[in-house]
Amino acid sequence: MKLMEYQGKDLFRRVGIPTPNGVYTTDAGDVKAYLTEHPGSWVLKSQVMMGGRGKAGGIKFADDAQQGETLARELLGKVLKSVQNPDGEEVKSLLVEEKVDIASEAYVSITIDRAAKKPVVMVSRFGGMDVEEVAEKNPDDIKKYWVDASIGYSPYIGRRLAFAAELPAGYRKGFPAILGALYTLFMDYGANLVEINPLVLTKDGRVIASDAKVELDDNGLYKHPEIAQWNSESPADEDQAAAVAIGLGMSNYAKLGGTIGVIANGAGLGMGTMDAIRSAGGEAANFLDIGGGAQADLVKKSYNLVTSDPRVNAMFINIFGGITRGDQVARGIVEALAGDDVRKVPLVVRLTGTNAEEGRRILDAAGFVPVETMDEGAARAVALANGR
Ligand code: GDP
Ligand code: MN
């Protein structure tokens, strides 16, 4: 999950990285009202996922409320384009921030170095809008440090990097703590990337994160379900949030066009199940991948999520037992359907692999008739969905 700047800065503040004061808004009138109340110099920053907003004309400066409103109207609705993003991205919201007087712009980021299997910190004194060029033409101007995650971060790493990267003296005092906070954020929120570009040294000697780029690993979002909700503006994102809310990754749940709810473990088996349903003349309403090692409780939550889609009028649960145990799945199904508060739809279950026998016994005892093959299950589900 990629975060917008204002969201990244929310996380920055949680871990103690200084950011400029500001407000987030979707309304030009708000900008006028805010600047009227808070006279001074402000930056209007377009909130889009794409980088390079400065060069694309998405960053504007305002010295009074009227100018602020005019620029906000100009930016909102504008489609920003860059080399990386030629189709462009529409600006729907703005971050209005106190303009800081910049003495120096540095670059700092943390990502995972897959080859080294370690987080790698990158620092450069040539931050700002041309850092890509620095990386290309003068890679030595970007200093790296591979953190041993079993030991973690120590301030000496920050001191060493500030020195090696020749950050201006004004950074020396604040930098180690900021990098430590960035490392905490990276680890605690399961990030793939955290980047501050520019990390500004102000003319009055403060070190401030002027920009924020944060990408979180979807598989870690269950630890911070409130963040998974942040993007829940479009329908697709609501589905993602729903999957995270029950402890799965955000791409584990997808809504489709038909009437048959599908639960399977693994994307491949899910695809196969949907194909089998189509061959049998039906259409999947949705697909939930419950992943490996699904416990009874997760199966129950999954059942409830899939049946919360009103179009679902039959369900096909197709589980290949490996790490996932058939008896656990069967217990989850029986538990899910035991309550009065669940929506009961005609159900077809196929269990194979680990503990499938026991799973089938549990289902038998509860009055379900499990099917043997995927095609048989698909045909049965289509018939049930059609009221037969
Ligand atoms: P990006 O182009 O999408 O990475 O957006 P940034 O937030 O990094 O802003 C781009 C550039 O705008 C920065 O490198 C700064 O040079 C400039 N800028 C942003 N905020 C301020 C500010 O508060 N004061 C000044 N003087 N320049 C700013
Ligand atoms: Mn930037």
Domains of the chain: 21-98 (3.30.1490.20), 102-222 (3.30.470.20), 238-385 (3.40.50.261)
Question: Whole-structure pTM over 0.85, yes or no?
Answer: no
Q: Residue 234's pLDDT is what?
A: 45
Q: Which residues contact 199 (CB under 8 A, 6 or more apart)?
A: 105, 106, 107, 108, 127, 171, 175, 178, 207, 208, 209, 210
Helix H or strand E encompassing 318: strand 314-321
Q: Residue 82's pLDDT is what?
A: 85
| Residue list, ligand 1 pocket, CB within 6 Å | 43, 45, 51-54, 59, 99-100, 102, 105, 128-129, 197-198, 210-211
Tell me how far apart the alpha carbons of residues 207 and 279 are, in angstroms, rounded to a whole number. 61
Mutational pocket test of ligand 1: of 202, 210, 214, the residue with most ligand atoms within 8 Å of the beta carbon: 210
> In which residue are the tokens 């209007």 written?
44
**Ligand 1 center–CA 226 separation, angstroms:** 28
Tell me how far apart the alpha carbons of residues 173 and 23 are, in angstroms, rounded to a whole number. 28
The catalytic residue positions are: 107, 195
**Nearest ligand, CA of residue 50?**
1
For residue 51, give the ligand 1 atom closest to its CA.
3
For residue 99, give the ligand 1 atom closest to its CA.
23
CB 248 within 8 Å of CB 58 = no
Q: Residue 236's pLDDT is what?
A: 54
Q: Residue 29's pLDDT is what?
A: 94
β-sheet bridge partners, residue 143: 123
pLDDT of the chain along its 388 residues, tens only?
889 999 999 999 999 999 999 999 999 999 999 999 999 999 999 999 888 999 999 999 999 999 999 999 999 999 999 887 888 899 999 999 999 999 999 999 999 999 999 999 999 999 998 898 998 999 999 999 999 999 999 999 999 999 999 999 999 999 999 999 999 999 999 999 999 999 999 999 999 999 999 999 888 888 888 887 786 444 456 777 788 888 888 788 988 889 999 999 988 999 999 999 999 999 999 999 998 777 888 888 999 999 999 899 999 999 998 888 999 999 999 998 888 888 999 999 999 998 999 999 999 998 888 899 999 999 999 999 998 8
Tokens of 347: 């159900």
Tell me how far apart the alpha carbons of residues 277 and 121 are, in angstroms, rounded to a whole number. 48
CB 34 within 8 Å of CB 96 = yes
**Ligand 2 center–CA 249 separation, angstroms:** 28
**Ligand 1 center–CA 44 separation, angstroms:** 10
Number of neighbouring beta carbons within 10 Å of residue 381? 30
Q: Write the Ramachandran bin of 57: left for phi over 0, alpha for psi from -120 to 50, otherwise beta.
A: left
Q: What pairing do the DSSP bridges indicate for beta strands 347-353 and 314-321? A: parallel
**Cis link prior to 155 (omega < 30° from 0)?**
no
Q: In this structure, which residue's CA is closest to atom 8 in ligand 1?
A: 211
- Backbone φ, ψ for residue 19 (5° rounding): -130, 160
Tell me how far apart the alpha carbons of residues 301 and 154 are, in angstroms, rounded to a whole number. 42
